[in-house]
Amino acid sequence: MITAQALIDESITIALRRYSMEDKVILVINPGSTSTKIAAYRGTDPVFINTIHHSVDEISAHRGIEEQYTFRKKIIFEHVEKHGISQEEISIIIGRGGLLNPIRSGVYAVNDIMIEHLKAGWQKSLHGANLAGIIANDMASEIPGALACIADPPVVDELGDLARVSGHPQFQRKSIFHALNQKAVSRKHAENIGRDYEDLNLIVVHLGGGISVGAHMKGMIVDVNNAMDGEGPFSPERSGTLPAGDLARLCFSGEYTHEEVRRMFIGEGGITAYLQTNDAREVESMIDTGDSKASLIYEAMIYQVAKDIGAMFTVLKGDVDAVILTGGIAHSSMVTEGIIERIGKLAPVHIYPGEDEMEALAMNGLRVMRGETEILEYH
């Protein structure tokens, strides 16, 4: 009897033969709630990078996971054909990982149990990224020898034992953060300075709609705030850590449903709650026109980020090679200079603005092609 893992191993073997040459195509899939990003790479060179936006009506007409991946897969195939790429050229289809069980960093072949978990949603929570592995697997099933995989999903968990302890046995700290970008920018920085990522101690700060601050010790993220579920600095859309007593009283006040409280944490928290916008550029325009409240809230966000960087400095026992600022808000000199003013004496600071998830995914596929990383099994 042929086991599921044997079939995966055979698929990997065939795919490895096919992408022994870097002129083979890596197809990258990154679905969001209202868009689908698609890219194709030959080696480090993009053939195309497209973002397809979906209207509210289109999304509403395809509510379930089954309907979503069917219509999005069709769109992806159409774009691949439009750019003159034959299916025979595609050796690896790599998607952004979704909310799965906690796993270590790496590239994972899509298997049956991953599909099951992506469809169900980890802890009953679904995310647009959950569609990526499902679509990649379905497409690969129609392309002989193509390998479907994901890389560094948000649930990458490399926390040390001390970092898991919350303060009460009913609760354990979880690792949910911008793993894909944090890992990718760390490897890029290591390459830029001629070092190995596994030899460095870094503090990496992702500044976006959510903010995550991670302590990277010799290639492992040993501590990081749960950037999705209410921990760490507040951000444009998320509340971060809130006073526990006040939160408990609010939850039992009878004035809010569970969903309404959740929205206070994610989507309608942070700067959005204070200033009714999640756009950092708009906040900076408000500050430039003399808005003192906007100035206070923005400075408070910078203050909280810097404070968490200081905390991660203690995690690494003061042995820090660099602090890295990345994500969309790292384009803002007001933010980066404000952070550097507070923590610049701790370690050298390097800024890698933006979050190029498509390139990060493609480079993970390329690392597999080059034999620089193994393909892991999800279970």
pLDDT of 153 > 90? The answer is yes
Q: List the structure tokens of 5.
A: 């893992």
User: What does DSSP say about strands 35-42 and 25-31: parallel, antiparallel, or unpaired?
Assistant: antiparallel
pLDDT of 275 > 80? The answer is yes
User: What pLDDT band is residue 19 in, cutting at 50, 70 and 90?
Assistant: very low
d(CA 11, CA 360): 23
The one-letter amino acid at 195: R
Q: Is 120 exposed, middle or buried (0-12, 13-18, 19+ CB in 10 A)?
A: middle
Least confident of 69-78, 196-205, 255-264, 357-366: 69-78
pLDDT of 26 > 60? The answer is yes
What CATH code is assigned to 4-157+358-377? 3.30.420.40
pLDDT at residue 5, as a whole number: 57
pLDDT at residue 264, as a whole number: 93
Among the four given CATH numbers 3.40.1110.10, 1.10.3470.10, 3.90.1300.10, 3.30.420.40, the one describing domain 179-354: 3.30.420.40
Sheet holding 25-31, edge to edge: 45-53, 35-42, 25-31, 90-96, 147-151, 107-109, 375-377
Task: Give residue-wise pLDDT tens across range 246-273.
Answer: 999 999 999 999 999 999 998 899 999 9
Least confident of 122-131, 321-330, 358-367: 122-131
d(CA 31, CA 65): 12
pLDDT at residue 184, as a whole number: 95
pLDDT at residue 1, as a whole number: 42
pLDDT of 129 > 90? The answer is no
> What pTM did the predictor assign?
0.88
Average of pLDDT values for 100-124? 87
Provide, rounded to the nearest whole percent, the portion of the chain with pLDDT above 90: 74
pLDDT at residue 345, as a whole number: 96
Least confident of 43-47, 70-74, 149-153, 319-323: 70-74
371 CB neighbour count, 10 Å cutoff: 9
Residue 169, classed as helix, strand or coil, is coil
Task: Give residue-wise pLDDT tens across range 212-227.
Answer: 999 999 999 999 999 9
- Indicate where the chain has its CATH 3.30.420.40 domain(s): 4-157+358-377, 179-354
Helices 179-192 and 357-369: angle between axes, nearest 10 degrees? 70
Signed CA dihedral, 290, 294, 297, 300: sign only: negative
d(CA 312, CA 116): 35
